[in-house]
Amino acid sequence: MLFQLLAQMLPLIVFIIVDSVCNNIKISIISAIIFAAGQLLFYYMKTGRFDWFVLLDVGLIAGLGFISIVLKNEMFFKVKPAIIEAATTIFMLVLIFSPDRFLLDYFGRMVPKGMMLNPATIGALKKMLLFMCGYILVHIGAVLYTAQFSSRKMWAFVSGPGFYFLFIPVMTFIVVKRLRMRRGRATVRRHN
């Protein structure tokens, strides 16, 4: 899923680069559409099949980009990251509320052959997916806010790399929490 979110950012990065060079929204959007179509073609040539997530992403880029050009309103193009993230959130919520057996089968396909997922990990997996849903919803709000009220550069930063910058405080919290747990265990061992 993280790879898909990274792949989703590439057309946005093309948009940012072209927009900073020529400062023409029409050319920037067309460049992002062409790159996204090339990305879909590359994935198909490499795997021999279409990834539905990439196909949806390219369809949204092309459709919303076309609408933005025709109506001369870049807002349609700008909301695309929020739409794809909303679809991702819905998918993760379906996984969260799915039976444990379904989750074991679904994620079991992603582990190397000969390995199996431990059923005891399902609770932690659902908790992580729920956390990701909340995280993505915060990012959707930031994307929509900057699309409406900020410059294109600010919107592009928030829509692309801003998603990953939000992880910094979360990862800092997790690392500090784990270090404290290790210190606590070490202290208990020394006293025993």
Domain ranges of the chain: 2-166
At 102, the amino acid letter reads F
Q: Categorize the per-residue pLDDT at 188 as very low, low, confident or very high, splitting at 50, 70 and 90.
A: confident
- pLDDT category of residue 4 using cuts at 50, 70 and 90: low
Mean per-residue pLDDT, 43-69: 82
Q: Which helix (H) or strand (E) covers residue 64, if one does?
A: helix 52-71
Digit-coded pLDDT (tens) for 147-170: 999 988 888 888 877 777 777 777
Write down the pLDDT at residue 137: 93
CA distance 160 to 142: 11
| pTM score of the predicted model | 0.71
Burial 74-113 (b: 16+ CB within 10 A, else e): bebbbbbbbebbeebbeebeebbeeeeeebbeeeeeeeee
